[in-house]
Amino acid sequence: MKQIIKYTLALSFAFTITSCAKLVDEVNPTHILDASNAFKTIENYEAGLNGAYAQLRSVNTYGRNQSVIPDMMSDNLSESPENLPQGTRGMVDWVYAADNGAVEGGWLGLYAVINATNVVINGIDALTTPANQKTANRIKGQALALRAWLHFDLLKWFANNYERNSNEAGVPIMTTVSSQNPNLRPSRATVKEVYDRIFADLNEALRLLGDVDRAINTAARRVNIDVTAVNAMLARISLYAGQDADAIRFATNVINALPLATRAQFPGIWRDDNAAEVAWAIRFNPGEGGPALEVYSPAGNDRASFDASPDMVALYDQTNDVRFNSYMASGFSTRAPRPANRFIPIKYLGKGNNRDGVVDFKVLRTGEMFLIRAEARQRSGDQTGALQDLNTLRAARIANFMPGTESGAALTQAIANERRRELFLEGHRWFDLKRTTRTINRQNCRPPATQCSLASNSNKWTWPIPTPELNANPNMTQNAGY
């Protein structure tokens, strides 16, 4: 853990000076660097929270690793001849080892943001008074939810088992500020212990965010964590943990709060023209990259490093499904057209009419909540409810949709197929495969790709603990096969 401590402050500092200062509507968040920098006001802690949010735009977090790498590593995308050797090369071909830069960046990047949340969580109570209690609730509640969410992100990559009460190795739980514990070298908590911490933080966040001084988001942009976002977090995490009753309950809370987008609204979600059904998004600003630039970079070089895979394309009703033209385009280019048989991902083309790849990344949406509830109901034996949820989502996306009648194994597969359609390029496919079927067979697998299939028993489903972390912390253990 000494490696985490060493790098979290460095990453916080680097990101702060390059990105956070550009947020015109945020206080300078350099206070996230060290708890010893005496925070003198509640506003200082809000600046620290803003700094934590800002770090989510890093390529080590939602600028790449948590947003599009899960699709790049799966069967949703086909690597194109336009792709160049880059940091994700080993990820796409599943040849990463403990010294892989993207793996190390993913570990350190997430812990850096967790460290920033701990500065807020552990210090704000000292400045909380009856007069500013609701303000403190708003700030601390968001920090708690973010800390929980990022521990879950780490668990998805570095743990092999997602069962709620698993005693297999999870990840270290960080609840203190790195600079205050320079000699801390904790071992990996069990998966159960990580879940215990996650659910405790999220339940406390729900309590605090239910009593705040002002609205956290606007109808036009939902880039901060509020009660609805926490419910959405709890729905997804409960599904992974196998807590189906909780997944149904929390997903229902979001569905009741945020109706599905209409077909007229849906394309605008991906251009930031509206925030219909968005529970939480990561803000991206000009000059700070974008969530999918390593998939398709429309500005400048117009490089499409990946195409939608043939079986991905075939899943859609290309005439009636609003998602098809919102997510991909045949032969698309900002310069000379590409061959019509190449379907270019355009989901993150840019805000409005821009084509710079800079657009907010939608982390949690109501569409996912219908799929969570459908899957949890199906696993609980409620096939009628599961089919109703599936048909509701399909009818919202597909013009002239005739209600499906699937049951049993066919209904299970239909829900999985709909997750693939709905959540394309939103960071789900790798983990959906990992937690269910655990096999990949890529279509149209061609150079520069070198690996076309991944077996269910491969150790590559779980990332290795980075070498620098192992070297610095004698209590850290490696995952099997590395």
Mean pLDDT is lowest, of 135-139, 175-179, 323-327, for 175-179
**Residue 448: cis peptide before it, omega within 30 degrees of 0:** yes
Q: What per-residue confidence (pLDDT) applies to 37? A: 56
pLDDT (tens digit, 9 = 90+) per residue, 67-79?
999 999 999 999 9
Closest CA to 61 of 9, 18, 25, 15: 15
CB 90 within 8 A of CB 102: yes
pLDDT (tens digit, 9 = 90+) per residue, 442-451?
988 888 888 9
Share of the chain above pLDDT 70, in %: 91
β-strands 77-79, 343-345: how paired?
A: unpaired
**Residue 464: cis peptide before it, omega within 30 degrees of 0:** no
CB 423 within 8 A of CB 269: no
Specify the 3-state DSSP secondary structure of 307.
strand
Work out the average pLDDT over 71-98. 90
CB 195 within 8 A of CB 217: no
Kindly tell me the sign of the dihedral angle through the C-alpha atoms of 235, 241, 244, 249.
negative
B/e letters for 276-306, b = 16+ CB within 10 Å, e = fewer, are: bbbbbbbbbbeebbbbbbbbbbbbeebbbbb
**Residues ≥6 apart with Cβ < 8 Å to 443:** 75, 78, 309, 310, 311
- Tell me how far apart the alpha carbons of residues 1 and 475 are, in angstroms, rounded to a whole number: 8
Strands (E), 180-287: 278-282
Q: What per-residue confidence (pLDDT) applies to 135? A: 98
Mean pLDDT is lowest, of 15-29, 181-195, 319-333, for 15-29
pLDDT (tens digit, 9 = 90+) per residue, 329-343?
999 999 999 999 999
pLDDT (tens digit, 9 = 90+) per residue, 212-222?
999 999 999 99
Q: What per-residue confidence (pLDDT) applies to 265? A: 98
Query: Model confidence at 15, in pLDDT bands (50, 70, 90)?
Result: very low
Q: What per-residue confidence (pLDDT) applies to 342? A: 97
Mean pLDDT is lowest, of 75-79, 157-161, 285-289, for 285-289
**Residues ≥6 apart with Cβ < 8 Å to 128:** 42, 136
Look up residue 450 and give its two tokens. 């070198």
Read off the pTM: 0.93
- Tell me how far apart the alpha carbons of residues 248 and 109 are, in angstroms, rounded to a whole number: 31
Mean pLDDT is lowest, of 100-114, 225-239, 343-357, 445-459, for 445-459
Work out the average pLDDT over 81-93. 84
User: In Å, how far are 46, 161, 234, 384, 399 from 27, measured between CA atoms?
Assistant: 8, 40, 30, 50, 46
φ, ψ for residue 321, nearest 5 deg:
-90, 115
Q: What per-residue confidence (pLDDT) applies to 1? A: 53
- Tell me how far apart the alpha carbons of residues 230 and 431 are, in angstroms, rounded to a whole number: 20
CB 364 within 8 A of CB 250: no
Q: What per-residue confidence (pLDDT) applies to 288? A: 86
- Tell me how far apart the alpha carbons of residues 271 and 194 are, in angstroms, rounded to a whole number: 36
CB 355 within 8 A of CB 298: yes
Work out the average pLDDT over 73-102. 90
- Tell me how far apart the alpha carbons of residues 266 and 44 are, in angstroms, rounded to a whole number: 38
pLDDT (tens digit, 9 = 90+) per residue, 181-205?
777 888 999 999 999 999 999 999 9
Q: What letter does residue 441 receive in the DSSP assignment?
A: E
CB 22 within 8 A of CB 106: no
**Res 28 pLDDT > 50:** no
Q: What per-residue confidence (pLDDT) applies to 416? A: 98
Domains of the chain, CATH where assigned: 2-282+362-472 (1.25.40.390), 296-361 (no CATH)
Q: What per-residue confidence (pLDDT) applies to 34? A: 52
pLDDT (tens digit, 9 = 90+) per residue, 37-64?
558 899 999 999 999 999 999 999 999 9
Query: Model confidence at 4, in pLDDT bands (50, 70, 90)?
Result: low
The helix (run of H) or strand (run of E) holding residue 63 is: none
Average pLDDT, the chain: 92
Residues 67, 286, 342, CA angle at the centre, nearest 5°? 50
Look up residue 351 and give its two tokens. 């805000």
- Tell me how far apart the alpha carbons of residues 113 and 260 are, in angstroms, rounded to a whole number: 31
**Res 438 pLDDT > 60:** yes
- Tell me how far apart the alpha carbons of residues 72 and 292 are, in angstroms, rounded to a whole number: 10
Q: What per-residue confidence (pLDDT) applies to 3? A: 56
| Beta partners for residue 281, in sequence order | 362
Query: Model confidence at 380, in pLDDT bands (50, 70, 90)?
Result: very high
Q: In the chain, count of helices (H) and strands (E)? A: 17, 10
Q: What per-residue confidence (pLDDT) applies to 446? A: 83
